[in-house]
Amino acid sequence: MHGTLTDLARCLWGDEYGPTPACDQTWQHEESYFTELLTFAAPDEILAMLRTLCPHLVDGYLPVWVRNLAYRLLLLQRPDDPALIRDAANSLYSHGPDWDDLAEELTRRADALEAA
């Protein structure tokens, strides 16, 4: 049973750091279902998923689109958290130059928040 967003993500994509749990909830194994849960998840639940499945920011088996969406949703809910903004920027930097402009913008935003 998927009690948390982390559990469902682990079931869908696996866990580099632990076994994928046995699951009989295959009706939930749709990316669209996961996306819906992620969209309306509380920030602490999203952070728990990222910290558990990607403890070193760019590791783990979560697809890049899940990480990007998770950070985007987090920043919408916590727009003034410089540490979180830096994590989002570092995640974007790690996925190639296509996102570097946005990562640089986020880094400047975090710098400005810390300076204020």
What's residue 27's pLDDT? 60
> 0.85 cut: is pTM over it?
yes
* Average pLDDT per consecutive 10 residues, the chain (116 residues; last block may be shorter): 84 88 72 93 97 91 94 97 97 89 97 96
CA-closest candidate to residue 61, choices 50, 74, 45: 50
What's residue 57's pLDDT? 84
